[in-house]
Chains A and B, each alone.
Chain A
Amino acid sequence: MPALPLDEAGKYVAGAYLVFLALILVYVAIMAIRLSHLQRDLDELLELAEQRDRDREEVGSAR
């Protein structure tokens, strides 16, 4: 098959590189969402640890 003219071939080449870029962007976006979940979990755990410390202090002062 003869080579496609540049204006027509350009669409396919751009499409292929955009697919690659989109794939990486989607992956990075998913990673970012997971990171935000991890941060939320860490915040919850920090809250839990602080609550624990407060409870211990209250028990200590009551004694």
Chain B
Amino acid sequence: MSLRALSSAAVVTLTGAFALVFFYAPNDADQGFIQKIFYVHVPMAMVALGGFVAGGVCAIQHLRTRRSEWDLRSYVFIHLSLILGVGVLITGSIWARASWGHWWVWDEPTLVSFLIVFLLYACYQPLRFSIEDRQRQARYASVFAVVAGAFVPLNFLAVRLAQAYSHPRVFATASGGLPPKMQLTFWLALVGMALLYFTLWRYEMAAKLARGRVRALRRRLAGEDVLPGRSAAPIV
């Protein structure tokens, strides 16, 4: 799929999903209008966590094949998931403030576990930055991505097992899940968010590869050994 088609699909799907959120999906009987936050918060969280796992899978490929493009893919997945992670934490806090009257609740496992995953991955870039040798940097970053990537589903499972009843489950509840109108809206929002994530991933990959090529060209033309400024991005 071309980048242009992917971008269009992401915009159309996400716009459609947000239109459904406000004009089609009914208000939640328990939470009221506040529940609309979940159509952006939960897909963002799911896609961010999926991106962390995808980063781990790419890192496994890098460790297996030693090909630097897998390291770059892993890096971009984690980089984008961190950005979405910021959004998840802020939108989650807004919901907590509206629903519980506090911006943050420390005894709520879902919130705290996401913060732990986020802080864990926040160490990824400083780790890359701290190693000068490019080969070692890529190897260590991949090992980190694999271990942290395995931690994500484990963490999710642990939260589910030790689940407190205070954090709302918007997609699967004991009573059988969301009503069909809410489900359709949620699924479309999730697909839209995934498409947006993948589009941004492709943009970022294209930008990083173009930068790498410009750097290589500069080396050939000017004979300069150009190292990236303050970028921890891998060189392909």
Contact = CB atoms under 8 A, between A and B. Distances in A.
Interface string A30-55: 01001100100110110011001000
B83 A23 contact: yes
Q: Which of B18, B97, B100, B217 has most chain A Cβ within 10 Å?
A: B217
B135 interface: no
Contacts of A23: 83-84, 86-87
Contacts of A44: 218
A9 interface: yes
A45 B40 contact: no
B176 interface: no
Q: Give chain A's interface residue range (CB within 8 Å of chain B).
A: 20 to 34
A7 to B, nearest CB: 10
Given A1-B100, A23-B86, A27-B83, A13 B207 contact: no
B40 A3 contact: no
A6 interface: yes
Interface residues of B, number: 37
B221 A45 contact: yes
Contacts of B20: none
Contact of B40 (A1, A9, A20): A20
Q: Which of B84, B91, B196, B210 has most chain A Cβ within 10 Å?
A: B91
Interface stretch (B25-33, B115-123, B152-160): B25-33
A45 to B, nearest CB: 6
Contacts of A34: 207, 211
Contact of B33 (A13, A19, A31, A41): A13
Contact of A9 (B33, B203, B207, B217): B33
Interface string A15-34: 11101100110010001001
Given A27-B83, A35-B207, A3 B221 contact: no
B156 to A, nearest CB: 22
Interface of B: 18, 28, 30-34, 36-37, 40-41, 44, 83-84, 86-87, 90-91, 94-95, 97-101, 196, 200, 203-204, 207, 210-211, 214, 217-218, 221-222
12 contacts: A1-B99, A3-B30, A3-B32, A4-B34, A9-B32, A9-B34, A9-B98, A12-B34, A42-B214, A44-B218, A45-B214, A45-B221
